Amino acid sequence: MPPCSRMRRGQWSRPRNPRRASPPYPSVDTLSTDTRTKLQSIFREVFDDDQLQLSDSTSRETLESWDSLGHIRLISAMEDEVGVSFTLEETEAMTSVPQILATIAAK
C-alpha cells in the first residue's frame, strides 16, 4: 500500500484500493458506536463526573459544566484520544453529541 499522503493541514489519508468491493474503513454506524464509547470516557474525564451518561440530547445547553473552558478542554481531549485535528469552524460547531459524532465521522 502506498504511504499516507498529506491532504490538508492536519489531515492524512490512505489511498483507497479501487479493486476492493467494500471500503477499507469502518462504516459510519460502527464508527459512531466506537466513538460514542470513547466520547463517554472523554466527557466523564473532562467534566469530572463518573456518572455522566451521554445521549443525543447532551449539549452545551443541557450540561452545566460544559462552559467555554470546558469546551476547549473537551476539544483538546478529543483530538488526543481520537487522533484528529479540528478546524476553528468545526470546533465552534461541535456543541452537542450528534454534532461531535458527525464531525468525527466526516474525518
Q: What does the domain layout of the chain look like in residue ranges?
A: 26-106
Q: How far apart are CA 101 and CA 107, in angstroms?
A: 10
pLDDT in tens, 16-70: 544 444 444 444 455 567 778 889 999 999 999 999 999 889 999 999 999 999 9
The pLDDT of residue 33? 76
Going by C-beta distance under 8 Å and a sequence separation of 6 or more, which residues neighbour residue 26? Answer: 34
The correct CATH number of 26-106 out of 1.20.1290.10, 1.10.1200.10, 3.40.50.2000, 3.30.1360.30 is: 1.10.1200.10
- Asked whether the predicted pLDDT for residue 14 surpasses 60, the reply is no
